[in-house]
Amino acid sequence: MEALEFEGWLDSYEELGVRIVGCSVDTLEAQQAFAEKLQLRFPLLADPDRSVCLAYGVVETRDAVAPRSTVLVGQDGVVRRVYAPAPAKGHAERVLLDLKAEG
């Protein structure tokens, strides 16, 4: 549901100059199959060793379950905001509204 909602709002994000990238602890093959099945236009990264999740503070250990989270990263690479846990329904629109409000 969350991926489809981000896909549905993708043009609005792009109008703001925001790039959407999904990331999951699933394998690259699983991510590719998921993206193809849902016909997603944004890239999905695979993080099976949880190194990305660890770097962004989404998990504390490599064996932890990664909760659904959204991390907003500025063009300078600085984390601007973390939504954790992030709900699946309505979340993509909420993030978009927050970005518009922040200018």
How is the chain split into domains, by residue range? Answer: 2-102
Contacts of 24 (CB under 8 A, 6+ apart): 30, 31, 34, 44, 45, 46, 47, 66
Mean pLDDT of 7-33: 96
What are the residues whose beta carbons fall under 8 Å from the beta carbon of 100, sequence distance 6 or more?
16
Q: Are 53 and 31 in contact (CB under 8 A)?
A: no
**DSSP class of residue 89?**
S
52-63: pLDDT as tens digits: 999 988 888 888
Q: What is the residue-averaged pLDDT of the chain?
A: 93
51: amino acid identity, one letter: S
Look at residue 4 and tell me whether its pLDDT is greater than 90: yes
- 42: tokens are 């944004």
The domain made up of 2-102 has a fold known as: Glutaredoxin (3.40.30)
